[in-house]
Amino acid sequence: MIASIATLILGFVIGYLGQRSRLCFVSGYRDFILTHDTNLLKGVLGAFIGALGGFILFSFLGSGILGFPMLLQTTILTRSAVIITIVSALGVGIVGALSGGCPYRMHVLAAEGKKTYWVYLLGFYAGLVFYNLVTTHFMDMVKTVLK
Amino acid sequence: MSLRKVKVSPLQAGLVLGFGSALVQAYFKVIPPLAYGVCMVCHPKDLFNWIADHLLHLNWGYSLASTNWPLLTVVGVVLGAMLAAYQHGELHLRSVRQPLFYFINGFLMINFGLILGACPIRIVLLSAYGNWLGIIGWTCVVIGVLVGTRVLRWAAARTVRRSEMA
């Protein structure tokens, strides 16, 4: 239950800050590509620096940051995992650019009362049902083929 | 009563988001998987599947972090953004445009995101954790945005050409 409450509070804070700052993890790259505007890109870098600082701090304090940093450990990357990561990440980037933002930004815009993004979220959650019914089985087949 | 306008830069918001995600992993058991403090595709999936599992016994999977109680990040984000918008007079109902386009985009986004196992936020967190797949994924998300932006430019140029010809 502690994780539920913690994520609810963290979600509330980042939802509030996201509405005030227009933070977006797709528009940051898009704005930089289109107009060399670094304002939103700084938010992405801020998240990276904040997370990195937090992981370093809490791993020194010895609390719950298991196996950090993973770069220094021997990890075996399977061919299927790399291919699936590349294809799906490209898909996330393309769809994010076309729709104008990341899922976080879309939830914030929907909360502002913009019905266009309600429709986006309708598709989002319909897609979740589809994922559970179809995509997971399809991906099992893909993983078997790529092995 | 007049409310003070809150101004936050994206950098400040990003720092809070990144540090907060490390904090909830370290002290509030939002783990496993690793670097799971904030994810806007996996946490909605956990919540949705947890409810489906408990109400309808559908046995749809969710992460170990959500075993007893679901992660409520998405609920918090919506409530927080709604409060901020209300406080600053930005909470207005606005009509729908291009509904089919946005529906399909939402549909595709969660499917690609769940195949990846991360949203554009968690891919940054995974990279900060030093996960190789996170770094590869982050690079490919940026390349994907570059491709998507090119498509948008091409579509805009085509629309201009057509309107000039008409």
State whether B76 and A128 contact (CB < 8 Å): no
How many CA atoms lie within 13 Å of A128's alpha carbon, on the beta-carbon side? 22
Q: Can you tell me the distance from the alpha carbon of B92 to that of B88, in angstroms, rounded to the nearest whole number?
A: 11
pLDDT above 80 for A74: no
Report residue B148 CA to chain centroid gap: 18
Contact A29 B23 (CB under 8 A): no
For B74, the enclosing helix (H) or strand (E) is: helix B73-87
Contacts of A87 in chain B (CB under 8 A): 115
Q: Is residue A76 very low, low, confident or very high in pLDDT (cuts 50, 70, 90)?
A: confident
Q: Where are the alpha helices (DSSP H) in chain A?
A: 2-21, 27-35, 39-60, 79-99, 103-111, 115-130, 136-146
A residues 57..116 contacting B (CB < 8 A): 57-58, 61, 63-72, 75, 77, 81-82, 84-99, 102-104, 106-108, 110-116
pLDDT tens for the 166 residues of chain B, in order = 456 788 899 999 999 999 999 999 999 988 888 999 999 999 999 999 999 999 988 888 888 888 888 999 999 999 999 999 999 999 899 999 999 999 999 999 999 999 999 999 999 999 999 999 999 999 999 999 999 999 999 998 999 988 888 7
Q: Give the closest of B7, B69, B107 to A1, CB-based.
A: B69
The predicted structure's pLDDT at residue B1: 45
Alpha carbon separation from A108 to A20, A115, B133, B166 (Å, rounded): 10, 12, 28, 39
Name, in order, each residue with C-beta under 8 angstroms of A65's C-beta and a sequence gap of 6 or more: A55, A58, A59, B22, B25, B26
Of B110, B139, B152, the CB nearest to A128: B110
CA distance B106 to B120: 14
Work out the minimum CA distance from A3 to partner chain B, whole angstroms. 5
Does residue A69 have a cis peptide bond before it, meaning omega lies within 30 degrees of 0? yes
Mean pLDDT of A61-85: 83
Q: What is the pTM of this model?
A: 0.93
CA angle A93, B24, B71 (to 5 degrees): 70
Across the interface, which of A33, A54, A85 has its CB nearest the CB of B116? Answer: A85
Q: Are A128 and B110 in contact (CB under 8 A)?
A: yes
* pLDDT (average), residues A60-65: 82
Which amino acid is it at A67?
Answer: G
Instruction: Tell me the average pLDDT across A89-115.
Output: 95
The distance of A36 to chain B (nearest Cα, Å) reads 13
What pLDDT sits at residue B3?
A: 60
Instruction: For residue A77, list chain B residues with Cβ-Cβ distance below 8 A.
Output: 132-133
Tell me the shortest Cα–Cα distance from A37 to chain B, in angstroms.
Answer: 12
C-beta atoms of A4 and B29 within 8 A: no
Q: What is the pLDDT of residue B121?
A: 95
Gyration radius of chain A's alpha carbons: 18
Q: What does the block give as tokens for A10?
A: 């963290």
* Cβ-Cβ contacts under 8 Å for A42 (sequence gap 6 or more): A28, B9, B10, B11, B14
Own/partner pairs for A59-68, CB < 8 Å, 24+ apart? A61/B26, A63/B26, A63/B27, A64/B25, A64/B26, A64/B27, A64/B29, A64/B31, A65/B22, A65/B25, A65/B26, A66/B31, A66/B34, A67/B34, A68/B129, A68/B130
Distance, in angstroms, between A102 CA and closest chain B CA? 7
